[in-house]
Amino acid sequence: MLTQHIVGKAGDGRKGVGPLIPPLSDTMRPLRQQVFERVRSAGLIPRVQVAKDLGVSPASVTTITSDLIEAGLIDEVAAPRDGESVRGRPAVALGVRAAAHRVAGMKISDREHTAVIVDFAGNLIADDAIPRRPGPMTLPELLDAVETLLDRVCAKAGILRADLSAVGLGVPGFVDSLDGVVLWSSVLVDRAVPLSARAAQRLGLPVWIDNDANLVALAELWFGVGRGLSDFVVVTIEHGVGMGVVLNHRIYRGAQRLGLELGHTKVQLDGALCRCGQRGCLEAYVADYALAREATTALNWGHKEGQSIGVLLESLYDHAKAGNATARSIFRRAGRFLAVGLSNVVNLFDPSLIILSGERMRFDYLYATETLAEMENLVINTGRPRPPIEIHAWGDLLWAHGAAALALSAVSEGLLAANREIAAQ
């Protein structure tokens, strides 16, 4: 099953953000955190409903929410019931105090850098984007770009950099989010870069980093269709091929926080050279630089050397749409390799949904009917239906929204931990 799904902007009013975890399904976290997250995900919710959803006494919820109100993390909102007269006392609901904190989310990419600023309730305040020159950057160059973009988006939001509580930052490559280290990235010259610490030093703010594909999954988990799913997979196809996996409403990163690198699984021994330095990786057959390489060779486009990958791909797509058999065969070959990768994802994780996301989703030959049919043939035949596949066209700001969710999560968990320690004294 394939669904074309266009996602709107995140954080619309009081509709809530964050995972919609079913009641009583996750009791390992402190009750204070469960209460706050229930309010945040609901947007607006009465105390009695929080108590019912979490299976605790109304008195416990009242005590905790009073502490959270006093700490400035949530507030009370008059919310008249349906059909209620304007006279009399309106019902009171709880909601996240949107003005309590603001965070920035940023994506550093091979094509352009994007940024958003959202409030504590996840509402979008401002966004911006700047183009970048091709090729990897030195760390000082990357930090210059981050600082420039952050100041620009802050100016659009009408706030100072110091008004932010944290920054979330996404980059492609192998990222240890816990240690804040980028072990390798296509946008950096050096390896093993302590990006989180260096960016925090430059910006004067806490900075949390993660692999960009994880941030797409986080954006879906916080703002998209993944909110109500316990398990799903996001596969991103742009300059590289990435994957983010959500298990039990949480991003799964692996024991060393470096797992789920679908683009660097091997699909052909001693095959095409990948930008990671190894051969036969999936992305060496599916990513934009792979398609451009094939087009230059198969279509004898040596005279187009020097043109950007984006221009080459648009030309290749136009030729395919016009019926050029060679152009179509290039997309067809890439689609077959993508089918191999997706079938392996299904066989390994059995997700409830696979989301294909990224710039390359404009090129529908990659996920044509015959490609998905090939995937069906490669998936283990259990007699049960295959997981649906959706194409999500959020646009470039999707990645930045995921980075903002990363920052929001870090800020709220830090505040709740501090609030819990104070309450215990």
Per-residue model confidence (pLDDT) at position 70:
95
Residues 265-287 have pLDDT tens digits of: 999 999 999 988 899 999 999 98
**Other CB atoms closer than 10 Å to residue 336's CB: what's the count?**
17
Please say if 53 is a catalytic residue. no
Q: How far apart are the first and last CA of the chain?
A: 54
Could you tell me if 205 and 248 lie in one domain?
no
Tell me which of 53, 119, 176, 212 is the catalytic residue.
212
Closest to 103 in 3D by CA, of 200, 178, 198, 205: 205
Q: Are residues 112 and 147 in the same domain?
A: yes
The span from the CA of 37 to the CA of 34, in Å, is 5
- pLDDT of res. 86: 54
CA distance 179 to 5: 35
**Is 250 within a domain?**
yes
> Rounded to an integer, what distance in angstroms lies between the CA atom of residue 189 and that of residue 210?
18
Q: Are residues 379 and 236 part of one domain?
A: yes
User: Are 162 and 32 found together in one domain?
Assistant: no
- In this structure, is residue 134 part of a structural domain? yes
SS3 228: helix
DSSP bridge partners of 124: 118
Q: What is the mean pLDDT of residues 116-138?
A: 93
pLDDT value of residue 394 = 66
Quick one: 118 and 155 in the same domain?
yes
- Give the tens place of pLDDT for each residue, 44-102: 999 999 999 999 999 999 999 999 999 999 999 886 555 555 555 567 899 999 999 99
Both 209 and 254 in one domain: the answer is no
Percent of the chain with pLDDT over 90: 60
Helix/strand/coil for 266: strand
**104 and 127: one domain?**
yes
Do 93 and 119 share a domain, yes or no? Answer: no
Residues 15, 402: contact at Cβ < 8 Å?
A: no
CA distance 279 to 126: 41
Pair of tokens at residue 422: 């104070």
Q: Look at residue 271 in the predicted model and tell me its pLDDT.
A: 93
Is 192 contained in some domain?
Answer: yes
Quick one: tokens of 349? 């994780």
pLDDT class of 5 with cuts at 50, 70, 90: very low
pLDDT of residue 89: 58
- CATH classification of the domain holding 66: 1.10.10.10
Residue 4 lies in a domain: no
Beta strands in 268-344 (DSSP E): none
Alpha-carbon gap, residue 255 to 176, rounded angstroms: 10
- Domain limit, last residue, from 60, 77, 99: 99
Counted domains in the chain: 3
- Asked whether residue 191 is assigned to any structural domain, the reply reads yes
pLDDT score of 2: 43
The residue range of the domain holding 411 is: 100-218+398-419
Q: What is the pTM of this model?
A: 0.87
The answer to whether residue 151 is domain-embedded is yes
* Whether residue 33 is found in the same domain as residue 156: no
CATH code at position 107: 3.30.420.40
Q: Quick one: 259 and 384 in the same domain?
A: yes
Residue 320 counted as domain residue: yes
DSSP three-state, residue 223: helix
d(CA 235, CA 246): 12
173-199 pLDDT, tens digit per residue, is: 999 999 999 999 989 999 999 999 999
- pLDDT > 70: what percent of the chain? 87
Which pLDDT belongs to residue 279?
A: 95
Out of 72, 99, 126, a domain closes at 99
Q: Which residue has the tokens 């966004």?
A: 127
Same domain for 271 and 382, yes or no, is: yes
The answer to whether position 129 is within a domain reads yes
CB neighbours of 19 closer than 8 A, spacing ≥ 6? 37, 41, 221, 222, 226, 227, 249, 250
Whether residue 257 sits in one domain with residue 205: no
Last-in-domain residue among 41, 67, 99: 99
